[in-house]
Structure 1
Amino acid sequence: MTLQDLGYNESLETYKIENGLDAFEVGRISLEHKERYVIKTPDAEFDAELIGNIKFTAKSRYDFPAVGDWVAFIEYDKGKALIHNVLPRHSILERQAVGKSGQVQIIATNINYALIVQAVDRDFNLNRLERYLAICNASKVEPIIILSKIDLITKAELKERLNQINDRLKNVKIIPVSSLPNGYTDLENFIEKGKTYCLLGSSGVGKSTLLNGLSGKELMKTSHISTSVNKGRHTTTHRELIVLKSGGILIDNPGMREIGVTDISGGLETTFDIILEYAKQCKFKDCSHEHEIGCAVQEALKNGDIDTASFFNFKKIKREKDHFESDTLERKKKDKNLGKLIKNVQKQRRNTKY
């Protein structure tokens, strides 16, 4: 295995040289847990932590490593390392941090393709697929829809699922898979050596089973299917970067119940491009697309040119985006005021004569 097999490229090497990092080793973050990390290299794995300078100068979550990042490090003891630098990312897959207003959670970095796994049985949900597409499009990560558990339905039912997706979501590649023999052949043929793929999906859709099938061995434990809800119990508890037998790099993720969008610049425009194209034709620039006279979007809805369910999903996601942006501005304002307060206190202390 080489660094290139892990996704290393010329631009990262150029950055390393231009920033005087020749004395450091480079590796990729394969695990992360509360500022403790595992770095993977072609020859070894290292338990790692950050140098103090990164911790104390960090301004946001983006300044800390995440699974998928390339880092420059030094081994200070056998199997132990200190991270000195996080190399530039070409993509960041993120969502709203659950329960933390205005904050982001980085799902993974340096991703080429997002494999959006959705079971064809009770988990099938077009609104959720659109949400995943929005965060992928915002991150400039190409989405691929993986329809799992197709052995649980008939060919006619599978065709209906495919038609539903194609009618509503345009120009997205779909790969059906099953746990039956040769059920992953199409997906295996798609995966390229040195490219990074990130698994996304709800709990119990078959991500761990899929990972085991692609790797050729049981890397993740899987649970029996629950007879009450007809889906597997979720077993993945952490994000992990794994090199497959095919040479592809796969990042597994815990199931996500909530897919809160961030500011997703460009994500909405790409995912709901049809709606926004009609919006340009509205009579008023600030049209809410509800009851205004001359609303091209409402006219398109009446004519069936815009899918009604997709429109309401768009409205909901846009409200979340606007709310997130508002919360983020409020947090920045509070942080700025707190910074001023601390500086004033420090200044008063310096001027106080004892």
Structure 2
Amino acid sequence: MPDLNPDRAALGWNPWFAEQARLHCGPADTAARVTSVDRGWLVLLNETGVFRAQLSGNLLHSARAAAARPCVGDWVCVARAGADGFGSVQALLERQTSLRRKAAGAVGEQMIAANVDCVIVVQSCHYDFNLKRLERYLTMVAEGGATPWILLTKTDLVAPEIVEGQIAEIRGAGIAAPVLRLSNVTHEGIDELQRMLVPGQTYCFVGSSGVGKSTLINGLIGHAQQETKTVSGSGEGRHTTVRRELIVLANGAMVIDNPGMREFGLLDAEAGLAGGFADILALAPQCKFNNCTHVSEPGCAVLAAVSAGTLDRGHYDNFLKLAREAKLGALSPAEKRKKERAFGRLVKSAKKDR
């Protein structure tokens, strides 16, 4: 039965997972962490080393939804059998934190990574900096329970005052997450980032394609683990990471790279709004009504701050957009269809009136 051993603890194992293993693992099972998923095969890692495994028939049957199956960062119970050393995954241990989004073009959710301690949101200072997208990322991170950091890359391509202005925008939006600046060319900030990566902790890098995530991880590893392409004439890299992978660094910290994500849907934005809108949520208790929506109510402290210029209008508009998305995401499929039909009738009625 899996327990609290120090070798496994170096991979992120803790009392939470030990208790989950006690409840779900069989006497002959061992616990292992998922480092990558490749066409039905899982690459697993534990104190004995790296090995491959597939889901057992029972788990395949019970975990029909993709999000209920193991992803990078998960802990699983696995039975080792046969001379080939392959394993059979018997159970997925409950996740302590998660990073997920709406599945692109489909109903449901897509797991990005699990059991992540810190999510590092990467934006390039050159062309990629976008405050609204950053707020969206931070909302997703907060919803999953991980700690967010912000990493501004390619500082060598812009003047120092531009970087300072971007940091001022971040702070002006009420975002309190740590902000690091980094250049893979001049190596500014790399030593500071390395000092912040704690052994036994898991860090997931997310951001748009070409912002320098894979190049950065190559530098942290010390060799070209992730393939990268040369920087284009515009200064933006061409992205090549096609699958997620958990990598153990020399100091014992673990990092996960991700394919670029410029657009994504939020599953439970309401639970994560504090991640990017702490300033607005701090004003909410001062509103006249407890159920204030901050749209048109009299005595709304948020609207008063927008009118006074102490709260940025664009920041406020993005808050309303994500709040509406949170409300829509909380509806059942039947409720969503009903809402869509009602909207369709409204459009038809408006056309007839014209």
Q: Normalization by structure 1: what TM-score? A: 0.86
The alignment status of 1:129 with 2:137, answered yes or no, reads no
Match of 1:186 among 170, 176, 192: 192
Matched, 1:168 2:173: yes
Partner of 1:94: 100
| Whole-angstrom distance in 1 between the partners of 2:336 and 2:13 | 36
Instruction: Report the AA paired with residue 250 of structure 1.
Output: V
Give how far 1:10 is off: 2.8
> Which residue is equivalent to 2:213?
207
Q: How does 1:107-126 map to 2 (within 5 A)?
A: 107-126=112-131
**2:217 is aligned with what amino acid?**
L
Counterpart check, 1:295 vs 2:300: yes
Q: Distance in 1 between matches of 2:149 and 2:334?
A: 33
CA contact (8 A) 1:45 1:79 kept: no
User: In structure 2, how many angstroms separate the alpha carbons of the residues matched to 1:169 and 1:304?
Assistant: 14
* Structure 1 CA distance for aligned equivalents of residues 136 and 78 of structure 2: 36
1:297 Cα deviation from its structure 2 partner: 2.0
Matched residue SS, 2:280: helix
1:30 to 3, 12, 35: 35
**Residue 251 (structure 2) aligns with:** 246
For residues 201 and 281 of structure 2, the distance between their equivalents in structure 1, rounded to whole angstroms, comes to 32
Residues 283 and 301 of structure 2 are in contact (CA less than 8 Å); yes or no, is this contact kept in structure 1?
yes
Query: 2:13, 2:333 → 1: CA distance?
Result: 33
Matches within 5 A, 1:334-353: none
Cα 1:15–1:294 change in 2 (3 A) is closer
The CA deviation string for residues 267-310 of structure 1, in whole angstroms up to 9 with x for no partner, is: 11443232234344444555443344333322110112322111
On the 8 A contact 2:25/2:90 being kept in 1, the answer is no
Aligned-residue offset at 1:132: 0.9
Tell me if the contact between 1:98 and 1:258 (Cα under 8 Å) persists in the aligned partners. no
More moved, 109-118 vs 283-292 = 283-292
5+ long unaligned stretches in structure 2: 1-5, 339-354
Which residue number corresponds to residue 223 of structure 2?
A: 217
* TM-aligned CA deviation for residue 11 of structure 1: 2.9
Structure 1 unmatched runs, 5+ = 334-354
Q: Distance in 1 between matches of 2:49 and 2:285?
A: 54
Corresponding residue to 2:49 among 44, 48, 63: 44
**Counterpart in the other structure of 1:336:** none
Structure 2: distance between partners of 1:225 and 1:328: 44
Distance in 2, matches of 1:150 and 1:116, equals 15
1:133 and 1:270, CA in 2 relative to 1: closer, same or farther beyond 3 A?
Answer: closer
Which residue of 120, 138, 155 corresponds with 1:150? 155
Residue in 2 that maps onto 1:106: 111
Q: Secondary structure at the match of 1:320?
A: helix
Q: Structure 2 CA distance, aligned partners of 1:201 and 1:125?
A: 11
Verify: 1:82 aligned to 2:88, yes or no.
Answer: yes
Other-structure match for 2:348: none
Match of 2:242 among 237, 243, 247: 237
Q: 1:308 aligns with which of 291, 309, 313?
A: 313
Q: 1:157 offset after TM fit, Å? A: 2.3
CA distance in 1, matches of 2:302, 2:179: 28
- How far apart, CA to CA, are the structure 1 residues paired with 2:315 and 2:130? 12
Q: 1:257 is matched by which residue type in structure 2?
A: R
For the residues of structure 2 that align with 1:311 and 1:46, how far apart are their CA atoms?
49
Aligned to 2:203: 197
Q: CA deviation at 1:120?
A: 0.5
User: Which has the larger displacement, 210-219 or 304-313?
Assistant: 304-313
CA–CA separation in structure 2 for the residues paired with 1:144 and 1:135: 13
**Equivalent residues of 2:156, 2:186 under 8 A apart:** no
Task: Please say if residues 113 and 197 of structure 1, whose CA atoms lie closer than 8 Å, have aligned partners that are also in contact.
Answer: yes
Amino acid at match of 2:301: A
State how far apart, in whole Å, the 1-side matches of 2:114 and 2:174 are.
25
Which residue identity lines up with residue 81 of structure 1 in the other structure? G
Aligned residues: 331
The separation in 1 between residues aligned to 2:38 and 2:236, in whole angstroms, is 28
RMSD: 2.3
* Contact preservation (8 Å) 1:29, 1:69: yes
Equivalent residue number for residue 322 of structure 1: 327
